[in-house]
Each structure stands twice: as structure tokens, then as C-alpha cells.
Amino acid sequence: MLIVMRNNATLKDITHVITTLEDRGVFPVVNKNGDQTLIGIAGKNPFTQEQLTALGGVEDVVDEKKPFKRVSREFHPEPTVIRIGNVTIGDGSFTTFAGPCAIESEQQIHEIARFVKSQGAQGLRGGAFKPRSSPYSFQGLGEDGLRFMRDAGKENGLVTVSEVMDVRQVPLLVKYVDMMQVGARNMQNFDLLREVGIAGKPVMLKRGLSATIEELLLAAEYIYNSGSPQIVLCERGIRTFEQSTRNTLDISAIPLCKQLSHLPIIVDPSHAAGRRDLIKPLSLAAVAVGADGVIIETHPVPDKATSDGPQSLTFPQFGECANAVNALVAATR
Amino acid sequence: MLIVMRNNATLKDITHVITTLEDRGVFPVVNKNGDQTLIGIAGKNPFTQEQLTALGGVEDVVDEKKPFKRVSREFHPEPTVIRIGNVTIGDGSFTTFAGPCAIESEQQIHEIARFVKSQGAQGLRGGAFKPRSSPYSFQGLGEDGLRFMRDAGKENGLVTVSEVMDVRQVPLLVKYVDMMQVGARNMQNFDLLREVGIAGKPVMLKRGLSATIEELLLAAEYIYNSGSPQIVLCERGIRTFEQSTRNTLDISAIPLCKQLSHLPIIVDPSHAAGRRDLIKPLSLAAVAVGADGVIIETHPVPDKATSDGPQSLTFPQFGECANAVNALVAATR
Amino acid sequence: MLIVMRNNATLKDITHVITTLEDRGVFPVVNKNGDQTLIGIAGKNPFTQEQLTALGGVEDVVDEKKPFKRVSREFHPEPTVIRIGNVTIGDGSFTTFAGPCAIESEQQIHEIARFVKSQGAQGLRGGAFKPRSSPYSFQGLGEDGLRFMRDAGKENGLVTVSEVMDVRQVPLLVKYVDMMQVGARNMQNFDLLREVGIAGKPVMLKRGLSATIEELLLAAEYIYNSGSPQIVLCERGIRTFEQSTRNTLDISAIPLCKQLSHLPIIVDPSHAAGRRDLIKPLSLAAVAVGADGVIIETHPVPDKATSDGPQSLTFPQFGECANAVNALVAATR
Amino acid sequence: MLIVMRNNATLKDITHVITTLEDRGVFPVVNKNGDQTLIGIAGKNPFTQEQLTALGGVEDVVDEKKPFKRVSREFHPEPTVIRIGNVTIGDGSFTTFAGPCAIESEQQIHEIARFVKSQGAQGLRGGAFKPRSSPYSFQGLGEDGLRFMRDAGKENGLVTVSEVMDVRQVPLLVKYVDMMQVGARNMQNFDLLREVGIAGKPVMLKRGLSATIEELLLAAEYIYNSGSPQIVLCERGIRTFEQSTRNTLDISAIPLCKQLSHLPIIVDPSHAAGRRDLIKPLSLAAVAVGADGVIIETHPVPDKATSDGPQSLTFPQFGECANAVNALVAATR
């Protein structure tokens, strides 16, 4: 059982809760989550949830066995709709984000932005800070890259999204992009989740390579609780024994998350498959299964890409994929 | 390297191949695959593939590193189309098989057959021999069940499919059903694959719970080589760490198998998800991704089903799912 | 709930149970497991377990939610000890089985038997029928191989074990070997489990590549119920995303099975690792964790083995491994 | 191909490398890794590795296909030995770290430190910042906890280790503990790896829940390259389909890492199993397989622990486990 105090709870409120507990032989653990005081009780206690909720300064009393709460459908039956400029995510429409794995130059990101816009994309993706398994791989252009992408987005009327890897990068991302992405490898980097939530901008939260759906929603709960309800979940494949694809796209996660949560969810077929020949069918599956969008890697010359070339679509391939997706959306939504 | 002799190769042919090898210091292992003699060479040998193929009675010289051959696209670029009565599988159409997990009574299978036919299904499924993890679970009605299903299929113009679990059951299945199913747990029961292939009837081959796509195609190769080219692959979910679904539907397997093989492939969302609330979206994903059909469990009163109740659709749910599938097929094929 | 009738229950007994149920509005499903009649009740029923057990001809009333029973520790608190000649398994001793993946010739199996005996092994393994993912791989010497191995075992005082792949092979295995092995790919081939149990010889049951521990014990329950309590479990690695080993040895399975079941359990490091450089440390781990033995592949010239060469130890490597194992056993048991 | 410039390379050096490349039609991507300039070349280039290494200011030219380098055995054939006070890790001895999941109070950590010391432990573990899947779980005592642990370690002659979750916590950890732990969820938090490496203190790096062994070594390479060669790897279980343990201890990872790398590696049976009844056998397996130590959770009253109670040993259980481990170490090393 966890007693969540209000942000504005006074020391007197907090002390009162603690002494109330101790008077009945319950010795709580007191803890901080940012400005919020959390008072935890292990084992049994003689109080009902109602009695504790009634104490001064208490915001909520949470049964830790129900793992997530504020991102759940029970808490918020209507779907969350995220609005950025003219783009809406979560209202039944289908949003296509596209762009390179990494922003490589000003010219490159502008060229890609123009093209994906012409094919009906609404969002532009591109990495400025790259999480790379190997320290010898290209690590990204940093702030320069973000500036290039911001300009390319503005010129072409595209919403921009880029990954934040470190709490120290949050202010930079806030300055330049419309939506911050928390990558799969950072899905349980809880300090980053908190900082991103405090920043208050829309967040795209990718599922970790071995994260369960429940853990994904708990990670979203961290962001939500820190102040940002504008969260887009992203299914990008999980790690399994099958080796013909880089990861296994868990297509069931889309209807499941829709049932369990009010948050929108999109599909990243590029990282799921790791090979370009599967991007089109997987994007169509995303439309059919009810996803709110896709995020696709495309590059004018994938073989020269600094990273993820094998999974990036060429421009003609992206055009073909976008056409098929748009046609299926038109026929079914 | 494996030298595959023709079925009608004489002992003289075989002896000649062996002595030719031994004269150059290569000591082969001789083996039988049914009527076919296989002559295996481990390690390096001084002969080219062409030289060996030219010897009398040799059908083929196979590099074991290329794992499957006759079920591959290279071997047979055109898609295999399976025809059973009026039903075709693999020609771009979409076939819906439906029925109970287990045939429970004559009345039950007739009632289900009538209903699924009325909703546009072309095939009837139902287990007469049930593979059950526990020896204390219901094991099926056996031959009675097969007869009930054959009659229900005939009366309603439905193609029938049922699982064969044991080589000794093959004749019974041949007698009663249109298509024999090899279940996930038997995907690498190689003797069963061979007997089923020899029987010559169409086969539905389910992917094993932890089988790679390559292993699925190799299992199909066993059936193909034993005499039956009429094989429908079936993706039914793989085992992963995610626990909110019984298995994880590997949706990428459908376009991948289509690339690698000429065989049709269908999706079993019921066993993949293990819960009825995901059957409709996963069936739609199957249509979108290019599958040749679905196989869905439905039961008039799932809660009273002898097995797999939680994943069986009620009749109204099946009707809703079939309507949505049919509408998407009509809009996209 | 499942009512298990005695093998000698009369039709009158069975009819009485059914009418007793029907008189209270419970309509059971009646089923056969070999000679045994099983009467299944889905959903709630007004009878207690005691009331049903008291009916004539009833052997047992099983709650299907408790998945395994007769192989459990609760059912049989003392460990099962299997005795074959001078060899005992399950009594706290440590038994080493060794031999080639496949029996390749009479000379080969005799040479190996002599060597492994000289290093302290008690058992001889070797495949006569090989389950091969590819139909183009070597399939084994069949009955000839079994005869060669029987003789090699006798001459060297080694207990023999070989895999049975098909119900039709059971009589052959009964004739030639001391212990029949059910391989990982057949762990849920329920008809084979039953036939092997009826045969009554000791059985080595390998865990399936994606089988849970519960499923392994349920498979053992099939064999146990069919008449053979002499079952040795075998942990041989499960399929995971890690690719530097062929499978991942689940070392925790050994103490877990010991807790849950009275059956002995051994470790197969060769198939788990798929590479010879890990066999020695994994064998030592097996000793330390409390396993009842190991089964190790060894071959005089692994690079010329018809199968599984990369995981077979050379004779010097096997000698070194056996010495280390024997020393650890001597120091700790 | 990646050209790694020396830390003290001048702008002139860097410009010279770039113009040399561009003169031959190669347009590199320039990047920073801390103070180090990295010049990346995608695709083919007309230069040999030797030609590029010969240019002024170049430290190394790395083929990105060889994934890790400085932590590999080839680079450093002798095992790395880490010395902290009287404790050595990696020299063939066996080190036991023990302590609570979370530091809960000054009294608690002192009580535990005294006890584990009395049982022969050399290290004290305890979390001050807890990574919790749920934002409603206890998050740790922070700096107070670290101070309590430092004092408990000093009084009892124990080396201390605690987890760092955020780059902003690094200075605090440096101040209070002997060894910083990077947790499984942060194994690919590359900025954290870098900061921890720069700090220069010994690091315990835990394998991610779905990380391959190669990825673990690449993560170690990040730390190594940032300045700290004192890294202890830690195998703590990977995520698989098996549900009777929290994770599956990949025991093969220990001999594999020993082969591939010169770094020491220890085993965390508590997080691997997630249940206390397996800690002793898994610890013994760790000794047998050649690990450099174990890290075990223990708590005076596990049922009242704020976290991970089910996997924490009681004091008597820890005593029994430590005795068994010490006896096996004495008998075998």
C-alpha cells in the first residue's frame, strides 16, 4: 500500500499521516518522487483505503498490486487525443512519421522532409543523439542535427520527433522538437522518464526489447505522473528466438494496449523487422489492427546511411508503402 | 553433401556411386529415406556437384547448407494453389476455417457447421484426437468425432480439417477429412510428417511453439518429399516472455514465408492469442499482411467447451469477426 | 474436474457414475485414455470430490487445475531410484552417459564404448534413428545401429540409451536398449509417451526446446500413468534470444524439478551449448546444482561426425571433462 | 570503418584526415565521443587500415564489424584483477557480496553488514536509488542510505556496491561507495556508461534482461573507453518463456565471457531466480562454472522488506548458503 501525498502537502500533513500509522503499530517507509512524498506500508495494516484517503494532504492511496492506474482505461475511459499543430494522434486517424535513422546533414534532412511530405507523411523523425550498442559507431550530430530537423519540419509542415537519451539533453530537445522520443533501451530509465514528464512536451515511448506490455504501461505511468499526459506508445518488436527478423513485431500489443489504456499507440515496423522488404506488409497490418500510426525509416541512399541502412526504405519504396497505407486507411476508417 | 538417389535406382547404380567415392578416399554413409537411398559425405570431397549428379541413378546432389529446396520460391516461382472442391487456397483469395477446438457431439458439430457456413466460412475445423499437455484433460471423440464432422461438412458444403497426432491415425484421417492437420507439437515429428506426405492428402502444417521459420519450411520439405505437394503452412504464435497473450503471433512470418516459399500460409489467431478479445483485430491483420486465410475457434457456449473455451468466439462474436474480415477482403483483394 | 475410472471398472460402474451426475443436471463428457475411462465435468457441479470418489469403480477424482500428480513430490515424497544392472540413478550418485550423436558403424560404437568406460562413464548413448530438421540430413543406421550399440554396451558393462522417434519403433528399442529416450522434439508427442510408458522400460525424457518445467512434468505424468514409473528427466537447454550458444541451459530447472518431483534429472550440456568448449564447465555446474548425471556427446574425430560434430568432445577432451566431473563428485557427494 | 582520433589530436590533424579522405571522394561523418573525435566512413574506401592509422593524430582505425575490442581477450590476454582494499576480484578467488535489496534504515544496514561479515562475505550491497517498474513502489533512501552503507561497510571491513541510475547521481556514488553498479535496465544507457567510466571507480555492470553476451561486452567497452578498466560483469538472468523463475540464469555466460574477455564476472542468483529456494544451488553452480563471485540478497525479515522480499534469504538461510559456497570454494580452488 502506498500513500501518495499531494504536492502541496505540508510537513504537518505528512507528520500526521506517519504518526497515525505508528500509533497503530504500522511503521511506514517515507520516500520522495520529485516534489511528492510517498509513504509506503509493507505487509498488513489496520486501516481501510478510505480511512487513509481521508487524512489531510493525501492525494491517493494506491494498492501496489494494481500496477498502473492513471494511464488505464478505467481511470480515463475516453481515448487520449494528442494535438500538435494540425496533427492529431489517437482520434481514429492514422499518422505516418518518416525520416532517416540519423540526421546526417542539413541537406539530407531537408531532402527527406520534402519527399515524405509529398507522400502524405505528417511527421518527421531523425536521430541527433544515437544510442549505439558499440562505442565505435556513429553517435549523431547533436544540437546541429536538431536545428537542421526543426527547420526542415517547419518548412514542410511536419511534426518533428527525436530521441532523448540523457536527462541532460532534455532542455535541448524541448527547444527544438515537437515530440521527444524515449527509446527502447531507455524504457526503464526511470529518471529520464521523470524528466521527460516534467518537461511537459508530447512523448513517444518505445517498448523495450524485452519489456512486457504491463511494464510499458508502467513506464508511461511514470511520465504521466510527472506531468505529461501526452504520451504515444510505440510497439517496435520484442526479442525472441526467431532470427530471420531483427525482432518480432508483437502485433497483438496494439489491440491489447487499446483495451488496457487510453493512450494512442503506433507501430515501428523498421526496427521490428530490421529489413526493408517487410515494412509495407507490417504497416498494412498496423492499419488493420487499429494502430494510430506508423514510424518508418527512409533514406535517399540507404546503403550509404550511417546507421540502420538495411531497414531503411528507398524513396520509391517509401512512396509505394505510403500509397498502400493511405489507400487502406481510406478504405477502412 | 548428400547424394539423393532416384527411387528406381538399382543396387548397381548405388554401388557404383559408393565405389566411385571410395576410389578417391571418400567413405560415405549410406542411408534410407523411405524408398530413397541417401549417400552422405562428411567433410571435403574431390568431386564437383556436377560430377556427382552425372552418375547413374542420381536424382540430386544437395548441399546440406541450403536447408530447404523443393518448397522454396527458387524451385517453384509460381504460388502453389490448393483446390479442394470449390475451395482454393493460395490464389490470392482468403479462406476462413472455423469450428470448435474439439468435436464434442454430433449435434454440436452440425450446429456449428451450419452457423459458420451462414457467415461465409469455407472450412470446418474440429479436433477428434486432442493433444493435451495434461493426461487428465479431455482427449477427444476419436473416429466417432471424425464421422460426425465429415457429415456436417458435407451437409453444409464445408471443407473439413482435423489433426492427426500419431502415424497409426493417418488412415482414419484419410478416410474422413479433406485436409489433415499436423499440430504445433508434432511439427518435428518427422515420421508423422513422412506418413502424412505419403498419404497424399492436403496437409495443414502448424508452426511449432519455438520453431524458426526455416524449421517450419524444412518440416514442409519432409512432407513435400514424401509425396504431397499440397501443403498449407499455418502461423499460430510462438512462445515468448510476454504473458498477456498465450503466445505471440509472429505476423512477419506471413510475408517472410511468401518470399521464401511458394506454399500458401494461413493464420490461427485463436491459438496465438489464447483470448477471444483479440481474434478480430488479429484476423484483420492477417488479411492486410497477405495471408491466404484464417482458422478460428468458435463454439455456441464457449464456457462449456471441453477445451480452449477462453479463446473460442461465441456465435455473435464470430459473426462480427467474419463480417469485418469479409469486408476487408472485399475492399483490398 | 475429471473422474478417472479404474481399468477394471465395469460398464455398470461407468453408467452409474454418469446417471448419478445427470440426475443432478450435470452432463459429463466421457472419454478413453487407453483402457481407462475418463469422465469429465466442465463448470460447477453439486458434488464434492469425496462423494464422487466414493462411487463404484472410481479410481480418482482429479482437479484439472493441479496439473500433475503422480510425478509430484506430494504424491511420492521419497526420490525415485532407477536401477539398471549395477547403475543407479536418483540415489545421490552421479551417472555419466557418453557416446556419439549417431551410431555410424560397429567399429565406431565399440571404440567409443571402450574409451568412455575407461574414463568412468556408466552409460552409452548413440542415435540409431535421428530426428533431423532437414530431410536431407543423415537419418541413422536403424536396427543395425541398435544391435551394434547393444553389443558394445554388453562388452563394456555400460547401460545403453537411444532415442525412439515413432510408436512403431518402440518394440525395436525395447529389444535392444536398457533405456529409451524421448527426444526434445517429441516431448509432447502424447501417443509416443503412452506407448513408451506401456513398454515399461526405463525412459529418459528430454525437455522440449520451448517447454516449461510444468509441461515437462506433465509429459512425464503421461508416461507414469501408462505404466512406467522409471523416468529420468533431462534438461537440455531452452530456446532464447541468445545466439552464442545453440540453446540456453536452464540450470535452475534441476533444483526446481527436484523440489516439484521425485524423479531424477540429468543434464545434457552438449545439446544445450552446441559447442564443445562449454561442456566441461556446464558439467561441473550440473554436479554442483544437484543433478543426477550428465549425458555428453563424444566422438573420436568430431569433424568427421555425421551430425553434431561441433558439440562433440574429442577423446582427450572427454577424458579431461570426466576427470574434472569425477573429482568434483568425489569432493562433494 | 571508424577513425578514432587521439584525445590530444589538434584541429589541424583532424582537418588533414578529413581532406585526405575527401580528395579521394570519401565524405566522412565527423562525431565526438567525449573529448575524442571519431571520423566515420560508410561504404567502401580506397585506403587500407594501415594508411589511415599512419595519419597524424590517429589513435586507432576500427572495423565496426569487430564489435568489441579493448575488453577482449585478444587485446589483453591476462585476466583483469580488481583490487579494492583487501578484496581482489578476477584472480581466481571467489568473492561474496551480500545485503538487502534496498537500504531501509541505518540500523538495518548495520545489522546486515555485521551478519554477512560473520559468514565470510567480503562485499556489502544495498540500493539507495531503486529502479522500480512502478512509480508507486518504494524508491530508496538516497544519499542518507549511501551514508549508512558507507559507515556499515567501514565498520565491518566490507567493500560496498550500490546502483547508480542517473548521470546526476554519479558524484554521490563516487563519494560514498567502493564500486558503482550499473543495473540491468541501464545496461544500454550509454551516457550513463560514459559518465561512470569517466568517474574512474570500479564498476559492476549487470547484463540487461534481453541483452546478448556481445551487447554486454559492448556496454563494458563504453565504460572501458571512457577511462575505467575496472569492470566486473554480472550475469543476473535473462528473460525467457519459463515462468517458474523470474528470469533464466544463463550459466553458460560465465565460461563464455571468460573466453571472450579478460574481465571478471560474477553471478546474481537472487535476481535470476526471484525465489529464495534456488539461491544456494545456483550459487554452487556459479562456483563450479568458474565465476569470480556471487551477489546475494539477504534481509533479517524478508517478508517485511520494502522490495524483493521473496528472493531475499533469511539470515539462517544465508548462513547455510555461504557455508556451502565456502566449502565448495575450499574444495575446488
Question: Does residue C71 belong to any structural domain of this protein?
Answer: no
Condensed to tens digits (0 to 9), the pLDDT of residues D311-321 reads: 899 999 999 99
Within an 8 Å CB–CB cutoff, is residue A36 touching chain D? Answer: no
Chain B residue with CA closest to D238: the answer is B241
% of chain A beyond a pLDDT of 90: 64
Q: What is the pLDDT of residue B241?
A: 93
pLDDT bracket for residue A33 (50, 70, 90): low
Q: What does the pLDDT average to over D176-192?
A: 94
Report the alpha-carbon distance of residue C10 to residue C111 in Å, rounded: 55
Are the C-beta atoms of residues C61 and C1 closer than 8 Å to each other?
A: yes
Q: Does residue D152 register a pLDDT over 80?
A: yes
- The answer for residues whose C-beta is within 8 angstroms of residue D175's C-beta and 6 or more apart is D146
Q: What is the pTM (predicted TM-score) of this model? A: 0.83
A114 and A12 within one domain: no
* Cell numbers placing C275: 559447442
Residue of B nearest to C239 (CA): B210
D161 has which bridge partners? D125, D179
Residues A190, D225: C-beta atoms closer than 8 Å: no
Stretch D3-28: mean pLDDT, rounded? 84
What is the reported pLDDT for D20? 87
User: Is residue A287's pLDDT more than 70?
Assistant: yes
Shortest distance, CA C200 to any CA of chain B (angstroms): 18
Using the 8-state DSSP alphabet, how is residue B168 labeled?
Answer: G
Closest by Cβ to A134, choosing from D64, D136, D191: D64
Nearest to A288 among B244, B272, B287 (CB): B287
Do D161 and D221 share a domain, yes or no?
yes
Chain D nearest CA to A331, separation (Å): 38
In angstroms, what separates the C-alpha of B299 from chain D's closest C-alpha?
A: 29
Share of chain A above pLDDT 70, in %: 92
Q: Which chain C residue shows the shortest CA-CA distance from A241?
A: C241
By CA distance, what is D104's nearest residue in A? A29
**Domain hosting residue A15, numbered range:** 2-62
User: Residue C65: its pLDDT value, please?
Assistant: 52
Query: Do D117 and D190 reside in the same domain of the chain?
Result: yes
Q: Which residues of B touch C173 (CB under 8 A)?
A: none
Contact B87, B95 (CB under 8 A): yes
Question: Is residue D77 in a domain?
Answer: no
pLDDT value of position B10: 85
Chain A residue with the nearest C-alpha to that of B242: A212
Task: Note whether D51 and D158 are same-domain residues.
Answer: no
Neighbours of D23 (CB within 10 A): 8
**CA of residue D118 relative to chain centroid, distance:** 26
**Predicted confidence band at D141 (pLDDT cuts at 50, 70, 90)?**
confident
Kind plus residue range of the DSSP H or E element containing C174? helix C170-176
Distance, in angstroms, between D37 CA and closest chain B CA?
Answer: 40
Q: What is the tens place of the pLDDT at every residue in A89-143?
A: 999 999 999 999 999 999 999 999 999 999 999 999 999 987 666 666 666 788 9
The C-alpha cell at C276 is: 564443445
Locus of grid cell 527544438: A176
CB contact under 8 A, C278 and D241: no
Best residue in D63, D130, D134, D144 for a mutation probing chain A (most A CBs within 10 Å): D134
Residues of A in contact with B332 (CB under 8 A): 328, 331
Mutate to test the interface with D, among B209, B210, B240, B241 (most CBs of D within 10 A): B241
A47 and A154 co-located in one domain: no
**Pair (C105, C55) in one structural domain:** no
Tens digit of pLDDT for each residue in A47-100? 888 888 888 889 888 765 556 678 888 778 899 999 998 899 999 999 999 999
Q: Do B188 and C38 touch (CB under 8 A)?
A: no
- Give the mean pLDDT of B278-288: 97
C250/chain A closest Cα distance in angstroms: 15
Helix, strand, coil percent content, chain D, rounded in steps of 5: 40, 20, 40
Banded pLDDT at D41 (limits 50, 70, 90) = confident
**D221 near C CB under 8 A:** no
**CB-count exposure of residue D257 (10 Å: 0-12, 13-18, 19+):** buried
Chains that touch A (3 or more CB pairs under 8 A): B, C, D
Which residues in chain D have their CB less than 8 angstroms from residue C282's CB? 251-252, 255, 289
Quick one: cell of B268?
Answer: 490461427
Mean pLDDT over the full length of chain B? 90
Structural domains of chain C, count: 2
Looking at residue A155, what is its pLDDT? 97
Asked if residue D296 lies in contact with residue D321, where contact means CB atoms within 8 angstroms, the answer is yes
**Which of A220, A224, A172, A228 has the alpha carbon at shortest distance from A199?**
A228
Q: Is residue D75 part of a domain?
A: no
Say if residue A12's pLDDT is above 80: yes
Whether residues C268 and C119 fall in one domain:
yes
Q: How high is the pLDDT of residue B68?
A: 67
What residues of B are in contact with residue D240 (Cβ under 8 Å)? Answer: 241
Chains touching chain D, criterion 3+ CB pairs below 8 Å: A, B, C
Kindly state whether residue D71 falls inside one of the protein's structural domains. no
pLDDT above 90: residue B59 = no
Which residue, among B62, B68, B188, would best test binding to C if mutated, counting the most C CBs under 10 Å from its CB?
Answer: B188
pLDDT of B137 strictly over 70: no
In a domain, residue A72? The reply is no
Q: Determine, for residues D165 and A133 on separate chains, whether the beta-carbon distance falls below 8 Å.
A: no
A-contacting residues in D 116-135 (Cβ below 8 Å):
131-135
Per-residue confidence (pLDDT) for residue C62, from 0 to 100:
74
Say if residue B160's pLDDT is above 80: yes
Q: Are residues A291 and A230 in the same domain?
A: yes
More confident residue, C266 or B74: C266
Residue D154 touches chain B, beta carbons under 8 Å: no
Looking at the structure, tell me whether residues B19 and B95 fall in a common domain.
no
The predicted model gives B165-180 an average pLDDT of 94
ipTM over 0.85: no
| Closest residue of chain D to B248, computed from CA coordinates | D241
3-class DSSP state for residue D12?
helix
Residue A281 maps to which CATH number?
3.20.20.70
Inform me whether the pLDDT recorded for D158 exceeds 70.
yes
Helices B253-260 and A279-289, axial angle in degrees (round to 10): 150
- Helix axes B253-260 and B279-289, enclosed angle (nearest 10): 30
Contact with chain D for residue C251, Cβ under 8 A: yes
Distance from CA of A23 to the nearest CA of C (A): 43
C238, C256, C284 member nearest D278 (Cβ): C256
In tens digits, what is the pLDDT along chain C, a chain of 333 residues?
Answer: 778 888 888 888 888 888 888 888 777 767 666 667 778 776 677 888 888 888 888 988 876 555 667 888 877 889 999 999 889 999 999 999 999 999 999 999 999 999 999 999 999 999 998 766 666 666 678 899 999 999 999 999 999 999 999 888 999 999 999 999 999 999 999 889 999 999 989 999 999 999 999 999 999 998 998 889 999 999 999 999 998 999 999 999 999 999 999 999 999 999 999 999 999 999 999 999 999 999 999 999 887 777 777 889 999 999 999 999 999 999 998
Of D245, D252, D332, nearest to C248 by CB-CB distance is D252
Burial of D100 (0-12, 13-18, 19+ CB in 10 A): buried
Whether D74 is in a domain gets the answer: no
Same domain? D26 vs D137: no
The residue written with cell numbers 567502401 in the block is D44
pLDDT of residue A79: 95
3-state secondary structure labels for all residues of chain A: CEEEECCCCCHHHHHHHHHHHHHCCCCCEEEEECCEEEEECCCCCCCCHHHHHCCCCEEEEECCCCCCCCCECCCCCCCCCEEECCEEECCCCCEEEEECCECCCHHHHHHHHHHHHHCCCCEEECECCCCCCCCCCCCCCCHHHHHHHHHHHHHHCCEEEEECCCHHHHHHHHHHCCEEEECHHHCCCHHHHHHHHHHCCCEEEECCCCCCHHHHHHHHHHHHHCCCCCEEEEECCECCCCCCCCCECECCHHHHHHHHECCCEEECHHHHHCCHHHHHHHHHHHHHHCCCEEEEEECCCHHHCCCCHHHCECHHHHHHHHHHHHHHHHHHC
Mapping DSSP onto H, E and C, the string for B103-137 reads: CCCHHHHHHHHHHHHHCCCCEEECECCCCCCCCCC
Decide if pLDDT at D309 tops 80. no
Q: Do A243 and C239 touch (CB under 8 A)?
A: no
CA-based nearest distance C271→chain D, Å: 12
**Cβ–Cβ under 8 Å, residues C235 and D232:** no
Contact A266, A125 (CB under 8 A): no
- The distance of C261 to chain D (nearest Cα, Å) reads 14
D286-295: pLDDT as tens digits: 999 999 999 9
Helix (H, G, I), strand (E, B) or coil at C128: coil
* Bigger pLDDT: C234 vs B39: C234
Task: Measure CA of the first residue to CA of the last residue in chain A; give whole Å.
Answer: 43
Mean pLDDT across the stretch B246-255?
Answer: 97
| Contact between residue C140 and residue C134 where contact means Cβ atoms under 8 Å apart | no
Residue B240 to residue D243, Cβ atoms within 8 A:
no
CB contacts, 8 Å: B239 with chain D = 241
The conformation of residue B312, written as its DSSP 8-state character, comes to: P
Interchain CB distance below 8 Å, C273 and D252: yes
Answer whether residue B133 shows pLDDT above 70: no
> Does the pLDDT at position A222 exceed 80?
yes
As a whole-number percent, the residues of chain B with pLDDT over 90 amount to 64
pLDDT confidence of residue D314: 95
* Nearest neighbour of A138 by CB, restricted to D29, D104, D304: D29
User: How far does B86 lie from chain C, in Å, by closest CA?
Assistant: 33
- How buried is residue D77: exposed, middle or buried, by Cβ count under 10 Å (0-12/13-18/19+)? exposed
Chain D contact present for B136, CB below 8 A: no
Query: Is there a contact between C277 and D259 if contact means CB atoms under 8 Å apart?
Result: yes
Q: Which long-range contacts (CB under 8 A, 24 or more apart) does A85-88 make?
A: A85/A157, A85/A159, A85/A178, A86/A122, A86/A157, A87/A122, A87/A123, A87/A159
Give yes or no for C67 touching B (CB within 8 A): yes
A226-240, B40-54, D4-18: range with lowest mean pLDDT: B40-54
Shared domain for C28 and C92, answered yes or no, is no
Whether residue C154 sits in one domain with residue C11: no
Residue D7 sits in a domain whose CATH number is 3.30.70.1140
Distance from CA of B189 to the nearest CA of C (A): 6
Nearest CA in chain D to A5: D136
Q: Is residue B74 part of a domain?
A: no
In a domain, C194, yes or no: yes
